[in-house]
């Protein structure tokens, strides 16, 4: 095991650091230097898609939410995202124009496989996004988009999440291209930025020095819960950040759309319930900032995930976890990473086993 850990204390930490390479491998051969996407390996006619349904569980579900936003924005195709355990019993509606995208790291999750079966009943075509060649899901699907993260040992998914998100961006760019939903030049520009995302993630990892992480962990001293807030694409990132934290630190954590916070979660806010704000960019950043200000007025201590040099974030937060600047649509790839580190270090500070959290399994093959 020591050899496999390659000098890292835990698999989770190692796998967080492997993310640039995992992304690189997932994008290789599918995205050329000009930013053009080639998904001919799928053998699917992407032009006939009228609607997309994404089914998944856990972290893969959060990747699915990000996939929805990319597909809708870039390809202008309507997307529904469903938790597989609900979808399978929901008597789902659809037809042959529906593409079901089933996301599963292991490719063995029972509920996700059952969701595929439910969609088959109405004639859907099925694309599997998985990290495991030869897994059950690859046999159930019409086409497979393999993420190439390499084996993930830590129960809390990290590198497989980032590669799922990247795979969904590829799909969104691919579908957008054949549908002519956006000017080719615009799609290629995003494609070129996506190609550079492994370097950006690496840069982001380097920005998070020990001092910044220990500052952030300090905000969690005495915490009894946490509230993760974001808008737009930063909302699924907030959900994933909260999930990581509860999985390995056992602290109750909620991920919430920042604008919805006033309809309930704000009641949780006090000095012992830190707010983790994923600020993002553009107009939504301003909106999130003003929501976070409301929590500060109620005594919250704040950790902000923000672009390097964001003065407003510095002013409002006890701790800022900086991310490198990337085009807004790709921001989840960089903003998810500090939250993985945060969950990791909070759990370590609490003396917990981050690789094998209690009650959880890496792959859930029972209902």
Please tell me whether residue 58 binds ligand G6P under the rule CB under 6 A: yes
Considering only 26, 106, 234, 319, the residue that binds ligand G6P (CB under 6 A) is 106
Please tell me whether residue 114 binds ligand G6P under the rule CB under 6 A: no
244 is annotated as an active-site residue: no
Tokens 């989840």, residue?
A: 332
Binding mask 28-57 for ligand G6P (x = CB under 6 A): -----------------------------x
Beta-bridge partner residues of 100:
53, 126
Q: Which of residues 284-323 bind ligand G6P (CB under 6 A)?
A: none
Which tokens belong to 8?
């890292």
The candidate with the shortest Cα–Cα distance to 59, out of 289, 279, 237, 187, is: 237
Q: What is the DSSP string of 90-140?
A: S-----TTEEEEEEESSS--HHHHHHHHHHHTTT-EEEEEES-TT-HHHHH
Least spacing, CB of residue 346 vs ligand G6P, in Å: 18
Q: Which stretch binds ligand G6P (CB under 6 A): 31-39, 99-107, 261-269, 304-312?
A: 99-107
Other Cβ atoms within 10 Å of 246 Cβ, number: 19
Considering only 24, 85, 105, 335, the residue that binds ligand G6P (CB under 6 A) is 105
How many residues belong to the site for ligand G6P (CB under 6 A)?
Answer: 16
Please tell me whether residue 358 binds ligand G6P under the rule CB under 6 A: no
Phi/psi region, residue 150 (left: phi>0; alpha: psi -120 to 50; beta: rest), is left
Cα–Cα distance measured from residue 346 to residue 111, given in angstroms and rounded to the nearest whole number: 31
Q: Which of residues 183-222 bind ligand G6P (CB under 6 A)?
A: none
Please tell me whether residue 157 binds ligand G6P under the rule CB under 6 A: yes
> In the complex, which residue's CB is closest to ligand G6P?
58
Please tell me whether residue 104 binds ligand G6P under the rule CB under 6 A: yes
Q: Which of residues 237-256 bind ligand G6P (CB under 6 A)?
A: none
Nearer to ligand G6P, 351 or 359 (CB): 359
Q: Out of 246, 287, 348, 362, which one is annotated catalytic?
A: 362
Cα–Cα distance measured from residue 220 to residue 25, given in angstroms and rounded to the nearest whole number: 35
Nearer to ligand G6P, 156 or 354 (CB): 156
Q: Mapping DSSP to helix (H, G, I), strand (E, B) and coil, where does residue 277 land?
A: strand
Considering only 55, 60, 170, 346, the residue that binds ligand G6P (CB under 6 A) is 60
Please tell me whether residue 343 binds ligand G6P under the rule CB under 6 A: no
Determine phi and psi for 104, rounding to 5 degrees. Answer: -155, 115
Please tell me whether residue 155 binds ligand G6P under the rule CB under 6 A: yes
Nearer to ligand G6P, 22 or 302 (CB): 22
Element (H, E) at 336: helix 331-349
Please tell me whether residue 364 binds ligand G6P under the rule CB under 6 A: yes
Rounded alpha-carbon distances, angstroms, from residue 261 to 266, 334, 336, 344: 6, 24, 20, 25
Q: Are 132 and 107 in contact (CB under 8 A)?
A: yes
Least spacing, CB of residue 49 vs ligand G6P, in Å: 23
Determine phi and psi for 186, rounding to 5 degrees. Answer: -70, -45
Contacts to ligand G6P by CB under 6 A: 57-60, 104-106, 109, 112, 155-157, 360, 362-364
| Catalytic positions | 362
């Amino acid at each position: 095991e020591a050899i496999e850990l390659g000098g890292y204390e835990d698999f989770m930490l190692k796998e967080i650091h492997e993310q640039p390479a995992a992304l690189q491998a997932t994008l290789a051969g599918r995205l050329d230097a000009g930013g053009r996407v080639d998904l001919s390996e799928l053998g699917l006619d992407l032009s006939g898609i009228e609607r997309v349904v994404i089914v998944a569980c856990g972290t893969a579900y959060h990747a699915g939410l990000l996939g929805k936003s990319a597909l809708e924005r870039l390809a202008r195709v309507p997307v529904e995202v469903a938790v597989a355990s609900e979808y399978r019993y929901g008597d789902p509606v659809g037809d042959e124009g529906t593409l079901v995208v089933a996301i599963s790291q292991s490719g063995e999750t029972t509920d996700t496989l059952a969701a595929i079966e439910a969609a088959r009943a109405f004639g859907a075509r099925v694309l599997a996004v998985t990290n495991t060649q030869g897994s059950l899901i690859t046999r159930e699907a019409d086409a497979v988009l393999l993420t190439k993260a390499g084996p993930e040992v830590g129960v809390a998914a990290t590198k497989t999440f980032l590669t799922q998100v990247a795979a969904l961006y590829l799909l969104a760019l691919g579908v957008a291209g054949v549908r002519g939903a956006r000017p080719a030049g615009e799609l290629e520009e995003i494609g070129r930025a996506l190609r550079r995302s492994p370097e950006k993630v690496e840069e982001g990892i380097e920005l998070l020095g020990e001092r910044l992480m220990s500052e952030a962990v300090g905000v969690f001293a005495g915490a009894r819960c946490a509230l993760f807030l974001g808008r737009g694409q930063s909302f699924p990132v907030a959900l994933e950040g909260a999930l990581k934290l509860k999985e390995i630190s056992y602290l109750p954590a909620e991920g919430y759309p920042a604008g919805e916070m006033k309809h309930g979660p704000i009641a949780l806010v006090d000095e012992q319930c830190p707010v983790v704000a994923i600020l993002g960019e553009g107009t939504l950043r301003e909106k999130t900032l003003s929501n976070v200000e409301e929590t500060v007025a109620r005594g919250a201590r704040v950790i902000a995930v923000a672009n390097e040099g964001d003065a407003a974030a510095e002013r409002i937060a006890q701790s800022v976890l900086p991310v490198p600047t990337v085009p807004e649509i790709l921001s989840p790839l960089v903003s998810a990473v500090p939250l993985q580190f945060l969950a990791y270090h909070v759990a370590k500070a609490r003396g917990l086993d981050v690789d094998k959290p209690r009650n959880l399994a890496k792959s859930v093959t029972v209902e």
